[in-house]
Structure 1
Amino acid sequence: MLHRWFASQKALRGWALANLIANVGIIVTGGAVRLTGSGLGCSEWPKCTEDSLVATREMGVHGAIEFGNRTLTGVLIAIAAITLVAAWLQRPRRKGLVTLSAVILAGMPFQGVIGGITVWSDLNPYVVSSHFLFSMVLVALATTLFVRAGESDGPRLALTDRWITALVRVVLGVSAAVIALGVLVTASGPHAGDENARRTGFDPAAVTQLHADGVWLLIGLVVAMMLVFKSVSAHERVKRAGWALVAVIAGQGLIGYVQYYTDLPEILVGMHMLGSALLMIAAVSLQFSVRLRETVPEPKKSEPVAAQAG
């Protein structure tokens, strides 16, 4: 039973997926805190108030939403810890997966501290932005862990030329820059997490245009990349990863323009935040598509030795 739920390659892959989903989920719930104006629903940290560890009825829905998000952080830490145990129990033990799992787990308390600083700073927009960006780093690491958990540590087989691999890496860098610019747009816009929280002071229209420019640069790069994939008859694995990225960018672009022209409704802003996480997942996954490693085989169970006739 222990092997089935923790020590098998299939189990590790499952826990790595749960880890990734949880890291995306905490972004969505954190967005709900911000978009409902519940950023200071709990006025203190690590306690909710000076006198209470948890939200009280008097704090209303904002306190419940903020405390609920804090509670989910505990779930996230638990899943990350189980993932680390699963990586440790693998036979043969894979040092890279253990290290990656440990780094993700260590990032959870650090992320909680950044969350506490956002409360202490009364939702300083730059601290809030760093909170979101660090979540994106954890999503990227969790994506890497999920992919690597399904591979061996054997030699890598390149599926594309080096210059195409370099182009794929540029796409990842521009994707990260677009996400960062999107965070700046949100930090300059109306959704501060609390009606009294200050903003960056940047002109929202100007930073939105800068973000849009970055998006169009990304679109151009991805279109060029897909044309290259077609011209060189790229491996199906590479093309599938490319089309997944195209789908995410198309969805993000549609949501982004609709929310802009509809005065930033909360539901669309929340969907755009989820889309940012999906963009990171797609861009990171693309990096692994351009090379191939064999799937990790399950270790064969030893056959019982038949008793010799006396």
Structure 2
Amino acid sequence: MGHVSSLASRTLLRRFALASLAANVGIVITGGVVRLTGSGLGCPTWPRCTEESYVTTAAMGHHGVIEFGNRLLTFVVGALAVLCVVLAEIRRRRGGRDWSETRLALLVFAGIPLQGVIGGFTVLTDLNPWVVGLHFLGSMAVIAAAYALVSATSAAAAPSWQAPSAVRRLGQVLVFVSALVLVAGVVVTGSGPHAGDENAHRTGLDPEMISQLHVDVVMLLLGLSIAMIFVVRATGGPIRRAVILLGVELAQGLIGFVQYFTHLPEVLVAMHMGGACLVWIATLALYDVLRARAVAPDVVPVSPAAVLARV
């Protein structure tokens, strides 16, 4: 009975952790919608929406509704994070487990108000592109913590394959380059259109030069991902997640090229933002295998497709 109860509590925590991960991806996409619709200053101040009101008013129009709606989603993401903390702590106290799940849940929770503050500074600085970029990268950090929590709820059985140290180091390089792709993408965004408001400043950097730099780093990531497939296969490891990562990267690259040559239509830019989240999650999922984390037979591994299905 105790084993069944532990299994049920782990499954419940995993479901809420996966929901939290999906919600954090979703709020990145809705944040992109705010920027792409020019609603970044729909609520021109923070933490209030206007000087007199914490909520949007009719005078703010649809821009105020869009911006305020995105602010409200922070509470949804925060509520899911709180539930994960509670469930993780219940599991720790009832099952005599260590603090790992609780620490990860608290890390995700701590990232929510921090992101709220950074989001407030984006408004108070009139959508300074560097602050906006920091806000996006902060979301990537929260997503990484949320994925780690989902992964922690899967660990149970002994791993069937141990990645050689050289392969693990290659995985670390892959994670680092994937993060560089995100940073380069942020710089590209800060130099181009879709600032979030027609009066918002840009970085002043040459968009073509920065875009080429971004492409160069993406090509490096693709090369490393292809190499990872071969080295994992050569060492007898499972290549499924490496193949998934390459597939997500190719799809993201296609969207990126099409959006560039069609002058950045809003729909494709929003898809590219969601794709960036999935590339990041797929990278973390691959590195999870290289770290030889076990997966319990009763739990389905997390994939980018599973996250996308919940957004």
Counterpart mapping for 1:187-206 below 5 A: 187-206=190-209
Mapped pair 1:280 → 2:284: no
The answer to whether the 8 A contact 1:242-1:286 is kept is yes
CA–CA distance in structure 2, aligned partners of residues 141 and 285 of structure 1: 12
Question: Which amino acid in structure 2 is aligned with residue 12 of structure 1?
Answer: L
Structure 1: 5+ residue stretches without partners: 299-310
CA–CA distance in structure 1, aligned partners of residues 79 and 98 of structure 2: 21
1:43-87: CA deviations, max 9, x gaps? 111110001110111211100000000000011100000010010
The answer to whether the 8 A contact 1:6-1:12 is kept is no
Mapped pair 1:175 → 2:166: no
**Alignment match, 2:72:** 71
| C-alpha deviation, 1:289, in angstroms | 1.0
**Alignment match, 1:307:** none
| C-alpha deviation, 1:98, in angstroms | 0.3
CA–CA distance in structure 2, aligned partners of residues 297 and 247 of structure 1: 26
1:138-179: CA deviations, max 9, x gaps? 011111110111113x87675221101111111111011011
Deviates more, 1:164-173 or 1:127-136: 164-173
**Alignment match, 1:241:** 241
Question: Which amino acid in structure 2 is aligned with residue 25 of structure 1?
Answer: G
1:177-235: CA deviations, max 9, x gaps? 0111001100110010000000001000000000000011111111111122233332x
The answer to whether the 8 A contact 1:35-1:191 is kept is yes
Provide closer, same or farther for how the CA distance between residues 82 and 245 of structure 1 changes in structure 2, counting only shifts above 3 A: same
Structure 2: 5+ residue stretches without partners: 300-311
| C-alpha deviation, 1:293, in angstroms | 2.3
Q: What secondary structure sits across from 1:205 in the alignment?
A: helix
Counterpart mapping for 1:100-115 below 5 A: 100-115=104-119
1:257-278: CA deviations, max 9, x gaps? 0001000001101100001110
The answer to whether the 8 A contact 2:245-2:282 is kept is yes
Q: What secondary structure sits across from 2:96 in the alignment?
A: coil
CA–CA distance in structure 2, aligned partners of residues 59 and 297 of structure 1: 50
| C-alpha deviation, 1:294, in angstroms | 5.3
Q: What secondary structure sits across from 1:8 in the alignment?
A: helix
Q: What secondary structure sits across from 1:224 in the alignment?
A: helix
Return the TM-score normalized by structure 1.
0.90
CA–CA distance in structure 2, aligned partners of residues 245 and 184 of structure 1: 23
The answer to whether the 8 A contact 2:17-2:150 is kept is yes
CA–CA distance in structure 2, aligned partners of residues 42 and 6 of structure 1: 45
CA–CA distance in structure 1, aligned partners of residues 133 and 7 of structure 2: 35
| C-alpha deviation, 1:6, in angstroms | 11
Give the alignment partner of residue 154 of structure 2, picking from 141, 150, 154.
Answer: 150
Identical positions, percent: 48
The answer to whether the 8 A contact 1:122-1:197 is kept is yes
**Alignment match, 1:85:** 86
Counterpart mapping for 1:14-25 below 5 A: 14-25=15-26
Give the alignment partner of residue 100 of structure 2, picking from 86, 92, 96.
Answer: 96
**Alignment match, 2:34:** 33
| C-alpha deviation, 1:297, in angstroms | 8.4
The answer to whether the 8 A contact 1:248-1:279 is kept is yes
Mapped pair 1:185 → 2:197: no
| C-alpha deviation, 1:247, in angstroms | 1.2
CA–CA distance in structure 2, aligned partners of residues 296 and 249 of structure 1: 28
Question: Which amino acid in structure 2 is aligned with residue 45 of structure 1?
Answer: W
1:28-47: CA deviations, max 9, x gaps? 00000000000000011111
Mapped pair 1:255 → 2:259: no
**Alignment match, 2:306:** none
Q: What secondary structure sits across from 1:272 in the alignment?
A: helix
Q: What secondary structure sits across from 2:45 in the alignment?
A: coil
**Alignment match, 2:269:** 269
Question: Which amino acid in structure 1 is aligned with residue 109 of structure 2?
Answer: L
Q: What secondary structure sits across from 2:117 in the alignment?
A: helix
CA–CA distance in structure 1, aligned partners of residues 229 and 274 of structure 2: 24
**Alignment match, 1:129:** 133
The answer to whether the 8 A contact 2:255-2:268 is kept is yes
Return the TM-score normalized by structure 2.
0.90
Question: Which amino acid in structure 1 is aligned with residue 267 of structure 2?
Answer: I
**Alignment match, 1:306:** none
Question: Which amino acid in structure 1 is aligned with residue 168 of structure 2?
Answer: T
CA–CA distance in structure 2, aligned partners of residues 155 and 227 of structure 1: 24
CA–CA distance in structure 2, aligned partners of residues 46 and 277 of structure 1: 27
**Alignment match, 1:140:** 144
